[in-house]
């Protein structure tokens, strides 16, 4: 039954793995006890503003929305009193995080009731699946190819190519594995999707399974993500009841069964081949990439054709079949080479706040978490969670007595720098900062100085 | 011991199909039942799934979340992943270790996890399955005091 009832104030408590660690469950209990009967309380996932958790949203019957941040049980009772009296105050603290956001993947995260499928259906959920099932699998793959949808796991591999590769393998049965392991330390974006909009991930997984011809789907969730697994399992059960998973999905004749599998820890389990090893019951070790995961491997007793899609990629898929490709892609075409828009990084910005930023970065690595009203606060220096890079290796310098040395090219022995003509090409990197000196004594060229 | 093995084997036979891919779910079930993976339990899993015990042991020990030794009455896991480490997880770990002596002799297992996935609430630690985020030394000491009094 839909919870959007006319004339009632809807109070949304954002309860997720992260906000539960700072008391969101207690806030939800306090609100449930203190709210009047004419208000409706729903629990949703976190919307990405982790620095302000626990958050409570109150939406009045007229559509006004009030946001309360850093709520504790006492302030929850005050909120309940305000709802009862009908006068909701402004937000306790305003921040620029939510302004200027155009949410595509995270649309509805933090607002949708994750216990009830109707809230997702009311927003046009599963219409993308209906459109996809109306096409043939080959047409669907062509449409995805034209859209340029790429994976969001870091490799940005084109999704359509992966599906095509899996479809071209003539073995049965085919399995689709959704990679929700999210093993990288410092990354916490897939949790928000699983806890906030689990049906969007399911819809994307079913579309991907239809495109690849898979009749079994496994959603592989991290060992730590108990709440995510619970919410996803609930979503799978509800979708089964509605005929969205199972035999003859939406009358198309396509059959799919979905199973939730849990990981057992480790960064490496998020890697595609390691994940497949763990799913098949082996040690968590990666495999070499030929044969590719979509090809049946000789070491397996059964030839499985598999395709792995990440969580964020799966959540992007239902969006475009529900509108025309052009309508979706026009604002963000052309797709940049890297990184693609729509899925910002998560990390800590200048103000030391941790957040999941759904705004597309205009430049890679640019910090955007507090460039809204209020500007930047000169706080702690930025600490982006990025994978460690290998240090630069020392490369040997070119031979100083090489050809062209007398004309100022190459890498002469002495220079005080400044004229730049003796800068070697390509640049020579050493462990110490590259020096611009080439050993020359004067700024005059080699010809006037005589041959060196 | 034989009775336990037979009971466990019949339970596994009901819950898990006899497929190599069911190893990790079966190990999860074992850890959920016993709190850790006993050697005899891993052997029974191997019997049911048709996997040599050495391979079961090798797979079980390759995962960070599965433990093969019995934990104490209480398990405290401090996240020392990237996000928490740069937000002061070292201080939290030291505080927990120093407070070990103040817990009235209860058996406590202190573990480090590579990431608790609460990077937005760093630093974080888990006490008996409940995660606490945005902690500092003072709040950790308060939590441990509650633990010792419980």
Give A185 or A452, the one with higher predicted confidence.
A185
User: Is B64's CB within 8 Å of A265's CB?
Assistant: yes
pLDDT at B30 over 80: yes
Residue of chain A minimizing CA distance to B124: A21
Q: pLDDT for A27-72, tens place per residue?
A: 999 999 998 888 889 999 888 888 888 999 888 888 788 888 888 8
**pLDDT band at A335; cut points 50, 70, 90:** very low
Q: Report the residue from B63, B83, B117 with minimal CB separation from A224.
A: B117
Give A3 or B29, the one with higher predicted confidence.
B29
Give A159 or A11, the one with higher predicted confidence.
A11
Are the CB atoms for A188 and A346 separated by under 8 Å?
yes
Give the gap in angstroms from C-alpha B124 to the nearest C-alpha of chain A.
8
Q: How far apart are CA A256 and CA A215, in angstroms?
A: 4
Q: How far apart are CA A54 and CA A71, in angstroms?
A: 6
**pLDDT band at A151; cut points 50, 70, 90:** confident
**pLDDT band at A265; cut points 50, 70, 90:** confident
What local confidence, expressed as pLDDT, does residue A239 receive?
93
For A210-232, the three-class secondary structure string (H helix, E strand, C coil) is HHHCCCEEEEEECCCCHHHHHHH
pLDDT at A222 over 50: yes
Q: How far apart are CA A228 and CA A241, in angstroms?
A: 20
Q: Which residues of B touch A20 (CB under 8 A)?
A: 131
Give A412 or B124, the one with higher predicted confidence.
B124
Backbone angles phi and psi of A306, in degrees to 5: -125, 145
Q: Which residues of B touch A53 (CB under 8 A)?
A: 120-121
pLDDT at A96 over 50: yes
pLDDT at B41 over 90: yes
Q: Report the residue from B28, B117, B131 with minimal CB separation from A222.
A: B117
User: Is A22's CB within 8 Å of B133's CB?
Assistant: yes
The answer to which of A360-374, A386-400, A408-422 has the lowest mean pLDDT is A360-374
Please give the DSSP secondary-structure letter assigned to residue A406.
G
What local confidence, expressed as pLDDT, does residue A418 receive?
53
| DSSP H helices in A152-221 | 159-167, 190-196, 198-212
Mean per-residue pLDDT for A304-309?
47
Q: pLDDT for B61-112, tens place per residue?
A: 999 889 998 888 888 999 888 888 888 899 999 988 888 766 655 688 888 8
Structure tokens at A13: 């408590």
Burial class (CB in 10 A: 0-12, 13-18, 19+), A159: buried
Please choose, from the candidates B48, B49, B44, B81, the residue with its C-alpha nearest in 3D space to the C-alpha of residue B64: B81
What local confidence, expressed as pLDDT, does residue A229 receive?
92
What local confidence, expressed as pLDDT, does residue A37 receive?
86
pLDDT at A440 over 70: no
Q: pLDDT for A345-362, tens place per residue?
A: 333 333 334 444 444 444
**pLDDT band at A327; cut points 50, 70, 90:** very low
**pLDDT band at B11; cut points 50, 70, 90:** very high
What local confidence, expressed as pLDDT, does residue A423 receive?
46
Mean per-residue pLDDT for A250-256?
90
Who's near B120: CB < 8 A, 6+ residues apart? A18, A50, A51, A53, A188, A346, A354, A355, A356, B133
User: Is A385's CB within 8 Å of B59's CB?
Assistant: no
Residue of chain B minimizing CA distance to A282: B59
Q: Report the residue from B25, B83, B134 with minimal CB separation from A185.
A: B83
What local confidence, expressed as pLDDT, does residue A320 receive?
39
The answer to which of A80-89, A249-258, A369-378 has the lowest mean pLDDT is A369-378
Please choose, from the candidates A97, A92, A67, the residue with its C-alpha nearest in 3D space to the C-alpha of residue A371: A97
Query: pTM (2 decimals)?
Result: 0.72
Strands A56-59 and A9-14: antiparallel
Q: What share of chain A is helix, strand, coil (3-state, %, to 5)?
A: 30, 10, 55
Q: What is the mean pLDDT of chain A?
A: 70
Chain B touched by A188 (CB under 8 Å): yes
Are the CB atoms for A305 and A292 separated by under 8 Å?
no
CA A411 from centre of chain: 46
Of the residues B36, B116, B119, B135, the best mutation for testing chain A's interface (the one with the most A CB atoms within 10 Å of its CB) is B119
Mean per-residue pLDDT for A78-101?
73
Q: Would you put residue A276 in left (φ > 0), alpha (ψ -120 to 50) or beta?
A: alpha
Tell me which H or E stretch contains A76: helix A73-85
Mean per-residue pLDDT for A369-380?
40
Mean per-residue pLDDT for A197-221?
89
Strands A39-44 and A9-14: parallel
Q: How far apart are CA A58 and CA A63, in angstroms?
A: 9
What local confidence, expressed as pLDDT, does residue B15 receive?
93
Are the CB atoms for A318 and A128 separated by under 8 Å?
yes
Residue of chain B minimizing CA distance to A218: B21
Please choose, from the candidates A92, A109, A91, the residue with its C-alpha nearest in 3D space to the C-alpha of residue A46: A109
What local confidence, expressed as pLDDT, does residue A347 receive?
34
Please choose, from the candidates A205, A200, A320, A204, the residue with its C-alpha nearest in 3D space to the C-alpha of residue A258: A205
What local confidence, expressed as pLDDT, does residue A193 receive?
85
Of the residues A180, A186, A222, A347, the best mutation for testing chain B's interface (the one with the most B CB atoms within 10 Å of its CB) is A186
Structure tokens at B55: 């391979």
């Amino acid at each position: 039954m839909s919870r959007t009832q006319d004339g009632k104030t809807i109070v949304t408590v954002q309860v997720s793995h992260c906000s539960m660690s700072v008391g969101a469950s207690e806030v939800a209990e306090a609100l449930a006890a203190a709210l009047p009967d004419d208000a409706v309380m729903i629990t949703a996932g976190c919307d990405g503003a982790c620095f302000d958790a626990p958050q409570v949203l109150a939406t009045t019957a007229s559509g006004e929305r009030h946001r309360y941040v850093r709520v504790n049980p006492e302030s929850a009772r005050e909120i309940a009193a305000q709802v009862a009296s009908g006068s909701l105050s402004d937000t306790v603290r305003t921040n620029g995080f939510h302004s200027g956001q155009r949410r595509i993947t995270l649309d509805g995260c933090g607002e949708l009731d994750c216990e009830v499928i109707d809230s997702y259906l009311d927003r046009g959920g599963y219409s993308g699946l209906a459109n996809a099932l109306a096409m043939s699998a080959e047409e669907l793959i062509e449409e995805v190819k034209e859209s340029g949808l790429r994976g969001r796991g870091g490799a940005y591999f084109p999704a359509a190519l992966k599906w095509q590769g899996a479809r071209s393998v003539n073995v049965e049965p085919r399995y689709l594995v959704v990679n929700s392991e999210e093993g990288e330390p410092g990354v916490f974006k897939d949790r928000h999707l699983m806890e906030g909009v689990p049906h969007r991930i399911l819809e994307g997984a079913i579309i991907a399974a239809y495109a690849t011809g898979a009749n079994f789907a496994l959603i592989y969730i991290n060992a730590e993500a108990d709440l995510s697994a619970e919410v996803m399992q609930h979503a799978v059960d509800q979708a089964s009841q509605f005929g969205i998973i199972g035999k003859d999905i939406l009358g198309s004749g396509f059959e799919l069964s979905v199973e939730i599998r849990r990981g057992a820890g480790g960064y490496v389990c998020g890697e595609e081949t390691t994940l497949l090893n763990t799913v098949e019951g082996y040690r968590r070790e990666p495999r070499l990439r030929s044969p590719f995961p979509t090809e049946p491997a000789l070491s397996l007793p059964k030839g499985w054709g598999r395709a792995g899609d990440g969580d964020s990629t799966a959540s992007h898929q239902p969006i475009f079949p529900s509108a025309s490709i052009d309508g979706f892609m026009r604002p963000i075409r052309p797709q940049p080479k890297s990184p693609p828009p729509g899925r910002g990084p998560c990390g800590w910005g200048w103000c030391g706040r941790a957040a999941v930023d759904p705004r597309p970065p205009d430049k890679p690595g640019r910090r955007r978490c507090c460039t809204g009203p209020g500007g930047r606060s000169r706080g702690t220096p930025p600490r982006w969670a990025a994978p460690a890079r290998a240090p630069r290796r020392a490369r040997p310098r070119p031979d100083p007595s090489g050809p062209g040395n007398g004309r100022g090219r190459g890498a002469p022995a002495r220079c005080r720098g400044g004229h730049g003509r003796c800068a070697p090409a390509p640049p020579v990197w050493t462990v110490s900062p590259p020096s611009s000196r080439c050993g020359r004594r004067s700024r005059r060229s080699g010809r006037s100085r005589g041959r060196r | 011991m034989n009775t336990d093995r037979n009971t466990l084997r019949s339970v596994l036979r009901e819950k898990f199909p006899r497929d190599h891919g069911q190893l990790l779910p079966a190990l999860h079930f074992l850890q959920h039942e016993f709190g850790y993976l006993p050697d005899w339990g891993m052997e029974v899993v191997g019997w049911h799934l048709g996997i040599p015990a050495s391979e079961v042991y090798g797979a079980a020990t390759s995962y960070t979340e599965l433990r093969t030794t019995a934990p104490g009455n209480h398990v405290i896991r401090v996240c020392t992943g990237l996000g928490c480490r740069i937000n002061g997880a070292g201080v939290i770990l030291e505080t927990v270790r120093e407070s070990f002596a103040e817990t009235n002799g209860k058996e406590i297992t202190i573990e480090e996890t590579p990431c608790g996935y609460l990077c937005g609430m760093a630093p974080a630690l888990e006490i008996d399955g409940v995660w606490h985020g945005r902690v500092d030394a003072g709040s950790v000491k308060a939590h441990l005091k509650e633990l010792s009094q419980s």
